[in-house]
């Protein structure tokens, strides 16, 4: 019986605010999955790197969920690419958590992102427990779809991911496309890769409240609200949203009376190197009067922004899934997104939103304009968006993940016995 899981999220804490720094969809994934597991009577201990000397070493995030803040390198000032050099310290403290308990304290390790996967391979061997790994993003895929201004992922990450694929008992892919990439690009054994879609909190992200949300946020009732939500970095392509808005205003000057473009999120990754890039762009295009920049907000506040929006745009160069797209649709808001990665699963093209090939702002303007100006089209897509999102509840994600855990435990047991 599965009693206790070690959840590894080395580079970003599930307690951090998504949309800022390195915090994003993965943070939501780890915490929501842990909550679902805890509700089923499974204890979850999450290990993440401490980023402040003021953080307590141990936090009860919710009943049945403990978060360990592991000291590993300087608390502040480290970028994600600096973290591989600190993994030895992180591994040491993770392994110590087992040493200080009775043997067999953990039944399974679930690691997230390649840095955690490296730690997971060591824990798997030392604790003799199965390792389940979720990539979230992959270097070979990112390097094939780099945005202007983004740096290529280092070869060390590629080697690390290849090792994780070879050693993990099971791999969880967010979509069939990601499964294919793991098999074709990383030589993963097909029977070791399971597809489990991430979920959405259908109690927080809910539809039918646009007027109330707009009143709360100070958005005019008749506004055509175009929303981008996420980390501000080239990978997420918020510049495409601003350029598409400028194109729409050029082609339809009357839209200026109602258009509001909200960019919600904080700088991350290479976006930290150019903190004023988007404000400079909006000024250069002459649309600074319609663009509103909003710092990262809590999930409940983000739900208000989704509900208030006429359409949400997700023009990312790559997404392993795209939680923003599902969250927006759960709030009854159609999505215009890039036809990349998991967004092809997250958005039902022509039904709950529109998928766009490439990243030409003119193509996004053409897709966005009807949803901003045609109430009947938007209303029709809104209802379908809600129905589409309802199939992505976190309870479904947890049930499917538990099946993967059971497969990993059985495979690990028989494999270890055969090689004993």
DSSP 8-state secondary structure symbol assigned to residue 103: T
Q: Say if residue 24 carries a ligand binding annotation.
A: yes
Q: Say if residue 51 carries a ligand binding annotation.
A: no
Q: Say if residue 156 carries a ligand binding annotation.
A: no
Q: Say if residue 328 carries a ligand binding annotation.
A: no
Q: Say if residue 63 carries a ligand binding annotation.
A: no
Residue 204's Cβ-count burial label (10 Å; 0-12, 13-18, 19+) is middle
CA 303 to chain CA centroid, Å, is 16
Q: Say if residue 140 carries a ligand binding annotation.
A: no
Q: Say if residue 134 carries a ligand binding annotation.
A: no
Q: Say if residue 357 carries a ligand binding annotation.
A: no
CA separation, residue 11 to residues 26, 58, 114 (Å) = 10, 17, 10
Q: Say if residue 176 carries a ligand binding annotation.
A: no
Q: Say if residue 163 carries a ligand binding annotation.
A: no
Helices (H), 49-192: 87-99, 113-127, 139-144, 155-167, 176-186
Q: Say if residue 317 carries a ligand binding annotation.
A: no
Residues pairing with 225 in the sheet? 260
Distance, in Å, from the CA atom of 131 to the CA atom of 112, rounded to the nearest integer, reads 11
Q: Say if residue 137 carries a ligand binding annotation.
A: yes
CA dihedral 196, 197, 201, 205 (to 10 degrees): -170
Q: Say if residue 80 carries a ligand binding annotation.
A: yes
Q: Say if residue 359 carries a ligand binding annotation.
A: no
Q: Which residues contact 196 (CB under 8 A, 6 or more apart)?
A: 172, 173, 174, 397, 400, 401, 404
DSSP 8-state secondary structure symbol assigned to residue 222: T
Q: How large is the angle between the packed helices 323-330 and 299-308, nearest 10 degrees?
A: 60
Q: Say if residue 26 carries a ligand binding annotation.
A: yes
Q: Say if residue 236 carries a ligand binding annotation.
A: yes
CA dihedral 293, 295, 300, 303 (to 10 degrees): 30
Angle at alpha carbon of residue 192, lines to 85 and 40, rounded to 5°: 85
Q: Say if residue 224 carries a ligand binding annotation.
A: no
Known binding residues are: 11, 17-18, 22-27, 80, 113, 137, 157, 231, 236, 297, 306, 309, 319, 327, 333
Binding-site residues for UDP-N-acetyl-alpha-D-glucosamine sit at 17-18, 25, 231, 236, 297, 319, 327
- Annotated binding residues for 1D-myo-inositol 3-phosphate, written as ranges, equal 11, 22-27, 80, 113, 137, 157
Which segments are annotated as binding site for Mg(2+)?
Answer: 306, 309, 333
């Amino acid at each position: 019986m599965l009693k206790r899981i070690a959840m590894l999220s080395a580079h970003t804490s599930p307690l951090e605010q998504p949309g800022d720094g390195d915090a994003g969809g993965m943070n939501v994934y780890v915490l929501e999955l842990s909550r679902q597991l805890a509700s089923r009577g499974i204890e979850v201990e999450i290990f993440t790197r401490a980023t402040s000397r003021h953080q307590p070493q141990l936090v009860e995030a919710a009943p049945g969920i403990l978060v360990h803040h592991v000291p590993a390198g300087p608390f502040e000032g480290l970028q994600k690419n600096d973290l591989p050099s600190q993994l030895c310290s992180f591994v040491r403290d993770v392994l110590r958590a087992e040493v200080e308990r009775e043997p067999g304290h953990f039944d399974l390790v679930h690691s997230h992102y390649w840095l955690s996967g490296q730690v997971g391979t060591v824990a798997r061997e030392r604790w003799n427990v199965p390792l389940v790994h979720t990539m979230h993003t992959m270097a070979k895929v990112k390097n094939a779809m780099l945005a202007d201004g983004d740096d290529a992922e280092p070869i060390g990450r590629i080697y690390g991911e290849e090792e994780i694929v070879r050693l993990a008992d099971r791999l969880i892919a967010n979509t069939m496309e990601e499964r294919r990439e793991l098999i074709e690009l990383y030589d993963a054994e097909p029977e070791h890769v399971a597809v489990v879609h991430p979920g959405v909190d259908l109690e927080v992200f809910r539809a039918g409240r646009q007027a109330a949300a707009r009143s709360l946020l100070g958005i005019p009732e008749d506004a055509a609200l175009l929303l981008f939500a996420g980390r501000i970095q080239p990978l997420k392509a918020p510049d495409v949203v601003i350029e598409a808005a400028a194109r729409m205003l050029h082609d339809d000057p009357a839209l200026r009376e109602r258009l509001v473009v909200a960019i919600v999120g904080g700088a991350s990754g290479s976006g930290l190197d150019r903190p004023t890039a988007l404000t400079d762009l909006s000024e250069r295009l002459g649309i600074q009067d319609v663009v509103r920049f909003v710092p990262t907000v809590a999930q409940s506040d983000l739900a208000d922004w989704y509900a208030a929006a006429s359409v949400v745009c997700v023009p990312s160069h790559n997404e392993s899934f795209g939680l923003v797209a599902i969250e927006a649709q759960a709030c009854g808001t159609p999505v215009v997104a890039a036809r990349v990665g998991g967004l092809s699963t997250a958005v039902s093209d022509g039904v709950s939103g529109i998928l766009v090939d490439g990243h030409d702002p003119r193509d996004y303007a053409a897709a966005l304009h009807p949803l901003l100006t045609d109430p009947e089209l938007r209303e029709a897509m809104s209802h379908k968006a809600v129905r589409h999102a309802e199939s992505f509840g976190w309870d479904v994600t947890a049930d499917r993940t538990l099946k993967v855990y059971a497969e990993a435990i059985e495979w690990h047991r028989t494999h270890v016995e055969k090689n004993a």
